[in-house]
Structure 1
Amino acid sequence: MDILAHGLWGGAAFYPKGGKRFAAGFVLGMAPDLLSFGVYHVTRPNWLWSRLAGEISGPPPLSTLPEFLFHAYNLTHSLVVWAALFILIGMVRKHPPWVFSAWALHILCDIPTHNSRYFPTPYLWPLPTPFVEGISWATPWFMAINYTALLMVYVWVFSYARRIGLERRSRL
């Protein structure tokens, strides 16, 4: 799934809990990609600008990507690593960090929206992971369905928040 959609799904899950929770859910929903691909793009701004300008299309070939990206991707896209961090943070803070679930939602959404040829989701890493031959998140019909579903969820979330008396000034 694309990074914006990940953030929007994470934010939607926590919007009724307040603006700070929405923002945390939004950022944590994007965190697995920000901490892997985001680092790559920051260290290679020319590639990103060329991509945004339409000079480059498609993802970069795997052979051109630095080794750290694969390690970061494994760490940030593992439910095993996420669960360990969830438990550790919960023990330190003395209560479960529920907003951290937006990160797990990212991983769960990636499993069926990645194929085994380009960054399959290593959701059980460091354990052996049976990869799912999913559809590409960039498939136009999937993106249309995904953003339509997001629109419907946000209409419901906003009306639910209003019904329970929460006032929001969040701007998407």
Structure 2
Amino acid sequence: MDILAHGLWAGLGAAAWHQRRPLDRRTVGLAVGLAVLPDLPQFAPLLALALSSMDGWRVLLAYANALPGYEPPLSPMLAGLTHHLHCVMHSALVAGAVTWGLWLWLGRFWLPLWGWWSHVLIDVFTHSADFYPSPVFYPVTYWGLDGVAWNTPRFMVTNYLAIAVAAMVVFHRRSRTR
């Protein structure tokens, strides 16, 4: 799914949760931030290329807006680095290890992690095998479900309509409870 939609879904989830149990703004902000974070590290090497190369911005924009099979050619090192950063951030095993570590440290589940978990779970089903499948068990395996391609016009329209409907439901309930 696209980065903006991850943030919107996390924000809607937090708004729905807040109706039943209050959440402070910091927790909501961190959850939304962690919902968009997994898609950002893979762009870091491309951003470095953009800042250090005349052709870098074109490559970065082409990569960010590519449809399956139309990604710009990258050097083997750059392709491998972006791929592994994507895999690390979309792995339930990595998210689980971070969750476990924070649980041991804090003595409880750190609620903003729901943002990251929502990202991983959503992307398992919204990435096709043709375009960055989400390797949910990385680094043990690269296996990922062949889901629906998130970047097709049909999915994008359906997803944003679903976000709009969910927002109307959540905020309609909120106005009724006041």
Which of 16, 39, 44 aligns to 2:49? It is 44
* 2:9 maps to 1:9: yes
- Looking at structure 2, the residues matched to 89 and 161 of structure 1 have their Cα atoms a distance apart, in angstroms, of 32
Corresponding residue of 2:26: 20
Identity %: 26
Which ranges of structure 1 fall in alignment gaps of 5 or more residues? 166-172
- What's the CA shift for 1:135? 2.2
Q: Describe the superposition over 1:52-92 as per-residue Cα deviations: whole angstroms up to 9, x where unpaired.
A: 9xxx8645346446122122111101001101111111221
- Contact 1:115-1:134 at 8 Å conserved across structures: yes
Instruction: Determine the structure 2 residue equivalent to 1:169.
Output: none
Q: 1:154 to 1:123 in 2, by over 3 A?
A: same
Distance 1:90 1:159, change over 3 A: farther
Cα distance change, pair 130–74 in 1 and its aligned pair in 2 (3 A):
closer
Q: Which residue of 2 aligns with 1:139?
A: 152
Residue 4 of structure 1 aligns to which amino acid in structure 2?
Answer: L
Structure 2: 5+ residue runs without aligned partners?
51-56
Q: Which amino acid aligns with 1:40?
A: P
Cα RMSD (Å): 2.5
- What code does the residue aligned with 1:34 have? L
Structure 1 distance, partners of 2:8, 2:162, is: 11
Determine if the alignment matches structure 1 residue 72 to structure 2 residue 85: yes
Q: Please, which moves more after superposition, 22-31 or 154-163?
A: 154-163
Displacement after TM superposition at 1:123 (Å): 0.5
Q: 1:163 to 1:117 in 2, by over 3 A?
A: same
Q: Secondary structure at the match of 2:112?
A: helix
Instruction: Using the TM superposition, give the Cα deviation of residue 51 of structure 1 relative to its aligned residue in structure 2, in angstroms.
Output: 4.4
TM-score normalised according to structure 1 size:
0.80
For 1:127 and 1:62, how far apart are their aligned partners in 2? 27
TM-score under structure 2 length normalisation: 0.77
Distance 1:62 1:19 in 2: 41
Q: Compared with structure 1, are the counterparts of its residues 34 and 22 closer, same or farther at alpha carbon in structure 2 (3 Å cutoff)?
A: same
Change (3 A) 1:121 1:113: same
CA distance in 2, matches of 1:155, 1:129: 38
Closer/same/farther in 2, CA of residues 162 and 35 from structure 1, 3 Å limit: farther
Kept in 1, the 8 Å contact 2:46–2:60? The answer is: no
